[in-house]
Structure formats: structure tokens, C-alpha cells
């Protein structure tokens, strides 16, 4: 067997594999001999079928199968030994005229080669790392939500600004008849709340669904309709008031603190505020880190310039998926996935150059911590090591879950690398201002 490579250019090559008769003949003969021993052919005793008949019936199929096995094994071994960094998979050049009666065969494969490039983490323009803080306004709002949640309902005669109103939305044509509890602050604008102020149980208020709420999800809940049904809905509905209550705020006392955080964990309003701030900012770190990861990824893709074997990859994509694509579909698929492919190559280079590794122990420890956190949510604060190990083993027996955790850990290590080596500027701001700056004022 002989394998040679011709480099078309820096990103494309052709590998030629020459297979001689001596490479496969012994194996083919052995398989056919085994077939002869077990073949059931009418008119012949088992094991006594003439070899010529066995070769005539099975010879070509066995030859093709063995040559293909040899070809794939040889190609894979060659790519490994030559340390060729290929993209996609080798593409066989079409051969419609293979003479399987010949003593030797030649096959050619097109290769798409990974480009050579350099990754510079520290660019001229700094990437913003957000430090999101829970300001006094947010903490005050959270405390009020807690007091309302644990407060007492007090019946009222008439609706006031902060009332909780139970009633039924109705519309005969759309067969709407849904009883819900609402608050006036959810309505869009000031006109609708004014219709409710001063109303009593039994009163019927007519409303237009168009612009009733800023968020379609609120309208879905109010009318018990699907998303497509409420989108652009412009009808009249009635709301029949059945009950009016005011929620008396719970006292900020030890009983409430113990309900929220466990006995004695928080003892004063100052400690409560500190705890709310701490818990909120832990959540903000995850959001800020994800934003940083996205922004550095975007920067790396934009700033790291290299060519790809686009024509080869487009051709490869035509047959790589579950369904074959025509040339136009493959071109569209390549255009859609090019950015992702570029980042995969950049990420791979960063992982290699910075020796980023995730061990099985890393994966097990992460799974244990994840399980421990989930158990804590259900009040199991001190699970034993055996419990954690047993559950982790069950979780990691799912290969998809183990791979997901591994990818998560790689992302964490890359994030640490970015924070250490990229051109980062830290910006501190409240969550409200973070949302405005990053997502727009919604």
C-alpha cells in the first residue's frame, strides 16, 4: 500500500491511496474459506461447496468490503501519523469506473486543512466586564415584595391603587371566561387603572384588549389564551369584580427572617438587606460573566483573521448531515455556520496553547456541587458524601449530561483566561442600568 499527498494550496490537499493485491488477497481468501465452511447451497453438503462457486457468489462483495475497510483504516492512520489538522471529513473523489477484477486499486480523497493563525487576546479596544450591584432601590423593592408575599389579605369595600382584585374576564364570541386576581400596576398607561378606582364587588368594567398590557404574556394569563391568539387581539372584554383585598405588609421581625433564611441566620433589617444584596449579586455575576464571554467571543471572531477552505466545506456539508443537501442549501448552511466554525478553531487553539484541561475529577466535583445546591433548595442541607457520589454517578452515566458539564467547565476556564489576559475594563452599575445599557430600555 502506498499513500501520497499533494497540497493544492495552504487549505486544500489531495491524498492518493494505492492498494495492491497483496494488501487484501490473504484476508479475502480467508473470509471466503470461512463462507465455504458454513454456506448452505442446494445440491451440496455443508462445507463441500466448490470454492469457485463461493467466489462467484460472494467474491466481489467480500473484496469490496475488505478494500473499503483497508482504505478507511489506512487513511485514518495516515492522518494521525502525519498530524494533519483536517476540517470536516476526507471527501472521496468520484470513481464510476472501478475495475474490481484488477489486481490493484487507486483512490483519491480531497482534504480541507485547518488554517494557521495567531490569536491575540489583548486587543487595542477594551472589552467591558460588568460588575452589577444591587442598589438601595432594588433592595427596597425586594423587601416590599417579601412583605407583600408574607403579608395578610384584608378585605376592602372599594378598589384603591394597591388593591388585589379578583374577578372574571369574559367575552362570549371568543368564549373567554377566566377568573383571575389582578393588580392595577400591571395595566399599560393610566387610563385603565382609573376605571377601577372606587369600584365595588359586583361592578362590571368594560375594557379593550388592545394595549391593555405592555406584555402579551400578562394578557395570555388574564384571558387564558395562547400566544398566537392574543397577538394583535383587539376586542372588548368585561371584568366582573368578585372580591377586593388589600395586602397588609408583613412585619420585618424575627419570625419572618426565620421563615426566609432559617432560624437565627438573619436577626436585623440591616442583616436582611445585606443578605438580599449578597444573594442578588451572586445571580448578577452569572449574567455579567455570560455577557463578557459573549463579548470576548465576538471580539475574537472579528479580530482573528484567517481563510477557510470554503469550497471544500460547502461540498462536505452536502452529505455530512442526516439529509443530503443540494449546492445552494449547503452554501446557505456554510454561510450560517461559518462564524461558529471560526470560533471553534479559535477556542481550540486557546485551549491547546494555554493547556486547558477538564479531568474526570473536575466533572465529578462539579456534578456533586450542582446536586448539593439542588438538594439544598428542598431543605436537604447536609447530604452525605455517599449520597452525593451515588447521585453524581447516575447523572454522569448519561453521556450527554457528562459532555454538557465538561463543556461548561471548559467555558469557565476560558472565562478565567479572558479575565486574566484580555484587555478588560470593569464597569460598575446597578442591575437596572445594566439592562438599559446592554439590552436597551425596555
Closest-CA residue to 218 (of 169, 182, 167, 173): 182
What residues have CB less than 8 Å from 419, skipping those under 6 apart? 129, 292
C-alpha 320/C-alpha 330 separation (Å) is: 10
Tell me the HSE value of 250 on the side-chain side, using a 13 A CA sphere: 17
Angstrom CA distances, 300 to 115, 363, 389, 411, stand at: 16, 27, 39, 15
Closest-CA residue to 263 (of 273, 255, 253): 255
- In the chain, where does the domain assigned CATH 1.10.3120 lie? 277-439
The grid coordinates of residue 95 equal 470513481
Q: pLDDT below 50 — which residues of the chain?
A: 442
Q: What is the full DSSP assignment across 40-60?
A: --TTS-TT-S-HHHHHHHHHH
DSSP 158: B
- In the chain, where does the domain assigned CATH 3.10.50.30 lie? 152-248
CB 356 within 8 A of CB 413: yes
The residues pairing with 107 across neighbouring beta strands, listed in sequence order, are: 17
pLDDT of residue 441: 56
Cell 439544598 sits on residue: 376
DSSP 213: B
The residues pairing with 130 across neighbouring beta strands, listed in sequence order, are: 427
C-alpha 69/C-alpha 56 separation (Å) is: 21
CB 17 within 8 A of CB 71: yes
The angle subtended at Cα 207 by Cα 196 and Cα 184, nearest 5°, is: 40
CB 191 within 8 A of CB 205: no
- In the chain, where does the domain assigned CATH 3.30.70.1050 lie? 2-113
pLDDT in tens, 382-441: 888 898 999 999 999 999 999 999 999 999 999 999 999 999 999 999 999 999 998 875
C-alpha 431/C-alpha 281 separation (Å) is: 9
pLDDT of residue 41: 72
The angle subtended at Cα 256 by Cα 255 and Cα 260, nearest 5°, is: 120
What residues have CB less than 8 Å from 306, skipping those under 6 apart? 115, 116, 117, 342, 345
Radius of gyration of the chain (CA): 34
Closest-CA residue to 261 (of 271, 246, 248): 271
Question: What architecture (CATH level 2) is domain 152-248?
Answer: Roll (3.10)
Question: What architecture (CATH level 2) is domain 277-439?
Answer: Orthogonal Bundle (1.10)
End-to-end, the C-alpha distance of the chain in Å comes to 67
CB 242 within 8 A of CB 189: no
User: For 2-113, CATH number?
Assistant: 3.30.70.1050
Q: Where are the beta strands (DSSP E) in 233-341?
A: 236-248
Please return the burial class of 392, using the count of CB atoms within 10 Å of its CB with bins 0-12, 13-18 and 19+: buried
Indicate yes or no: pTM above 0.75. no
DSSP 224: T
The grid coordinates of residue 410 equal 471548559
CB 347 within 8 A of CB 414: yes
Cell 451440496 sits on residue: 44
pLDDT in tens, 277-288: 999 999 899 999
pLDDT of residue 320: 85
C-alpha 211/C-alpha 173 separation (Å) is: 20
pLDDT of residue 278: 93
The grid coordinates of residue 361 equal 475529577
C-alpha 60/C-alpha 63 separation (Å) is: 5
Closest-CA residue to 57 (of 32, 37, 34, 38): 32
Q: Which residues of 201-239 are buried (b: 16+ CB within 10 A; e: fewer)?
A: bebebebebeebbeeeebbbbbbebeeeebeebeeebeb
Amino acid at each position: 500500500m502506498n499513500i501520497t499527498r499533494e497540497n493544492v494550496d495552504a487549505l486544500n490537499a489531495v491524498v492518493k491511496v494505492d492498494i495492491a493485491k497483496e494488501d487484501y488477497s490473504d484476508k479475502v481468501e480467508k473470509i471466503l474459506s470461512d463462507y465455504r465452511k458454513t454456506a448452505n447451497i442446494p445440491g451440496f453438503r455443508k462445507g463441500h461447496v466448490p470454492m469457485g462457486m463461493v467466489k462467484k457468489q460472494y467474491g466481489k462483495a467480500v473484496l469490496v468490503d475488505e478494500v473499503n475497510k483497508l482504505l478507511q483504516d489506512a487513511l485514518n492512520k495516515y492522518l494521525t501519523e502525519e498530524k494533519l489538522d483536517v476540517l470536516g471529513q476526507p471527501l472521496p473523489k468520484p470513481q464510476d469506473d472501478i475495475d474490481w477484477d484488477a489486481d490493484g486499486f487507486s483512490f483519491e480523497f480531497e482534504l480541507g486543512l485547518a488554517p494557521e493563525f495567531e490569536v491575540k487576546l489583548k486587543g487595542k479596544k477594551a472589552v467591558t466586564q460588568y460588575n452589577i450591584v444591587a442598589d438601595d432601590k432594588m433592595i427596597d423593592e425586594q423587601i416590599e415584595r417579601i412583605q407583600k408575599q408574607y403579608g395578610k389579605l384584608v378585605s376592602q369595600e372599594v378598589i384603591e391603587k394597591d388593591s388585589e382584585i379578583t374577578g372574571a374576564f369574559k367575552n362570549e364570541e371568543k368564549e373567554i371566561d377566566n377568573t383571575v386576581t389582578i393588580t392595577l400596576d400591571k395595566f399599560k398607561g393610566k387610563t385603565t387603572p382609573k376605571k377601577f378606582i372606587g369600584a365595588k364587588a359586583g361592578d362590571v368594567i368594560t375594557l379593550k384588549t388592545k394595549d391593555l398590557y405592555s406584555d402579551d404574556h400578562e394578557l395570555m394569563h388574564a384571558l387564558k389564551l395562547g400566544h398566537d391568539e392574543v397577538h394583535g387581539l383587539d376586542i372588548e372584554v368585561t371584568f366582573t369584580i368578585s372580591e377586593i383585598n388589600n395586602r397588609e405588609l408583613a412585619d420585618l421581625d424575627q419570625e419572618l427572617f426565620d421563615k426566609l433564611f432559617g432560624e437565627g441566620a438573619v436577626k436585623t433589617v440591616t442583616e436582611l438587606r445585606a443578605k438580599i444584596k449578597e444573594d442578588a449579586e451572586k445571580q448578577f455575576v452569572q449574567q455579567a460573566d455570560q455577557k463578557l464571554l459573549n463579548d470576548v467571543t465576538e471580539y475574537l471572531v472579528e479580530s482573528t483573521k484567517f481563510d477557510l477552505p470554503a469550497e471544500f466545506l460547502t461540498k462536505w456539508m452536502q452529505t455530512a448531515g442526516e439529509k443530503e443537501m443540494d449546492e445552494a442549501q449547503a452554501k446557505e448552511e456554510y454561510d450560517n455556520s461559518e462564524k461558529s466554525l471560526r470560533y471553534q478553531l479559535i477556542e481550540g487553539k486557546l485551549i491547546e496553547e494555554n493547556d486547558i484541561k477538564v479531568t474526570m475529577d473536575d466533572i465529578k466535583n462539579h456534578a456533586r456541587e450542582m446536586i448539593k445546591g439542588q438538594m439544598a433548595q428542598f431543605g436537604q442541607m447536609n447530604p452525605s458524601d455517599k449520597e452525593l457520589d451515588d447521585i453524581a454517578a447516575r447523572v454522569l452515566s448519561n453521556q450527554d449530561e457528562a459532555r454538557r458539564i465538561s463543556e461548561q467547565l471548559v467555558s469557565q476556564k476560558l472565562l478565567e483566561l479572558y479575565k486574566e489576559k484580555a484587555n478588560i475594563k470593569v464597569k460598575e452599575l446597578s442591575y437596572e442600568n445594566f439592562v438599559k445599557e446592554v439590552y436597551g430600555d425596555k
